[in-house]
Amino acid sequence: MNQSQEAEIAARRIVVLAGGPSAERMISLQSGRAVVCALQSRDRRVVEVDPAVTDLETFDWSPVDLVFNALHGSFGEDGGVQQILEARGVPFTGSGSLASRLTFSKSASKVRMLQCGVPTPKFAVVHRGRGSDPLPQIAARIGYPLVIKPDQQGSSLGVSLVTEDSELDAAFQRAVEFGDCIVLESAVIGTEWTLAAIDNDPLPLIQIRTSHTLFDFDAKYVDDATEHCFEFDAPSSVTNGIVAAGLEAVRILGTTGLVRVDLMLDHSGRPWVLEVNTVPGLTDHSLAPKAAARAGMTMSDLCDRLLAGALAAHRGEASRRRAG
């Protein structure tokens, strides 16, 4: 970021949105606190606002120049808060409402990926009331092992690995605690990877090593034994393929700002995109800040860059509207 961009950020009145009503509220509060601390370390004019306490529809946005969105899960990632900010003309970090809504739905984003040739595991969608084939019949079409997870949820909440019919009902019940729409997805056996990117610019790739069967909530945010590796045994041709698959998913979903792509690499060396996260965690356990640090960015650098990108995107959208 150049000096003029830094000066512009320093002059702006910034609101950090954190907390909110979703099941990921506590992680969002941690992310928000990390962002506030990073910005305050550079004397930015920043205020934290929790939408679970403050109604954003009636909030006075007139003194606000810029919003840093650290809301995870529903409302923060599904286009809800983005629509409010777009309607009020307030620049904000992250993707717009349309890309957010598409990407927050695992099934909708997987449909888009399949249409565009991005490799993503075979899946089926089941609703709480079911009203479709019995679970064992659906599972048989996908094949074991498979993963059952909520269609619209993050932080691996409600996610289960299922290896046989007898485990289906319990896994389904865990998933419906977080939503009515459930995804059954073929489990890719191999290694787990994550790619953070800023406006299609990749940050260093990370391989995840954990003793957990899945990279679940505890492995992400609690277990200090989880390893985040930047040095790999895989050849560069394979890791380059992982990065290419991740960036193609980002491109076709139309996301902007900081995103994190979760992938699996199967035993044949083929990458599979699991999902894209439009508001990735920013806690001290989170992967995107670790990738940024590997690239030489402090947390303050990362936050400033995302805010500068939000201003640039807002100007670009305003220019397109005038031209149209």
DSSP letter at 190 equals: E
Contacts of 190 (CB under 8 A, 6+ apart): 264, 265, 266, 267
What positions carry a catalytic annotation? 24, 155, 221, 260, 262, 275, 277, 281
Closest C-alpha among 36, 127, 125, 16 to residue 76: 16
Within 10 Å of residue 69's Cβ, how many Cβ atoms?
30
* Nearest-angstrom CA–CA distance, 6 and 69: 19
DSSP letter at 92 equals: B
Tokens read off for 319: 């220019």
Across the strands, what pairs with 182? 126, 150
Q: Looking up tokens 């286009």, which residue turns up? A: 79
3-class secondary-structure state, position 78: coil
Contacts of 111 (CB under 8 A, 6+ apart): none
Closest C-alpha among 257, 278, 240 to residue 200: 257
Tokens read off for 104: 């927050």
Within 10 Å of residue 170's Cβ, how many Cβ atoms?
12
Tokens read off for 285: 């356990």
- φ and ψ at residue 258, rounded to 5 degrees: -80, 125
* Nearest-angstrom CA–CA distance, 235 and 223: 28
CB 306, CB 257: distance < 8 Å: yes
* Nearest-angstrom CA–CA distance, 146 and 136: 12
